[in-house]
Structure 1
Amino acid sequence: MEKKIIKTDAAPAPIGPYNQAVQFGNMLFVSGQIALDPKDGTLFQGDIAKETEIVMNNLKGILNEAGMDFSHVIKTSIFLMDMGKFSTVNEVYATYFTGNYPARETVQVAGLPRGVQVEISVIAAK
């Protein structure tokens, strides 16, 4: 099996030496997404709910490019600057799934790229 690089304009271009996602067989490994507008690279900061929505929509764009959607997600990793905002992030996150939720960890971190409040990555499979 070869790895296949997934690239879409529906999510922001990488800001470092990595790809939006890599598919290997039926597995898709999606890099962490932050609240960057895929159209112009504008960073949204402020409201954690809006930040999370942008992140989830970026993930959706990458999943769709690989022929998948959130029903294919088997694992998510959520990185938060403030665990006190977990419930707000969780409310937005939950709207993207319909039952059979993926495995997940949520951790508070000391810092995230560009000073954002939340970063989320996923692993999906067909």
Structure 2
Amino acid sequence: MDNQTPKPTESELEILQILWQHGPTTVRFVNEQLNQRKEVGYTTTLKIMQIMAEKGLVKRNEESRSHIYEANVNEEATQKHMLDKFLDLTFRGSASKLVMQALGNHKATRAELDEIRKLIDKMEGGAK
């Protein structure tokens, strides 16, 4: 995600999550997936996806009768971009404040803590 691509809204991010998980698909499929969590009208989903196409967040293939949409932004790049913005705005750029808050509000599992330790070790140059 470059600086030219707009940051997705919460609703757009929900749609991107579906497209990243399932790949190119129809508005109907995306709407069915959204409705598993909360009731969303088909026309609302269609309108949001049309706006996303205009913004460059998704691409629309119009070759078949049912238009197929696919994500036009990379999942990891989008996550990094949004996290960087969130970190700057919420924690004044402090990754440690973010991690401390997240761990303080969430009971980390043994596996999660092990994964965090491995990441720290890797970032320190493979100590241990």
Q: What is the TM-score with the length of structure 1 in the denominator?
A: 0.28
Q: What is the TM-score with the length of structure 2 in the denominator?
A: 0.28
User: Which one scores higher on RCO, CA 8 angstroms, separation ≥ 6?
Assistant: 1
Which has the larger share of helix? Answer: 2
Say which one has the larger Rg: 2
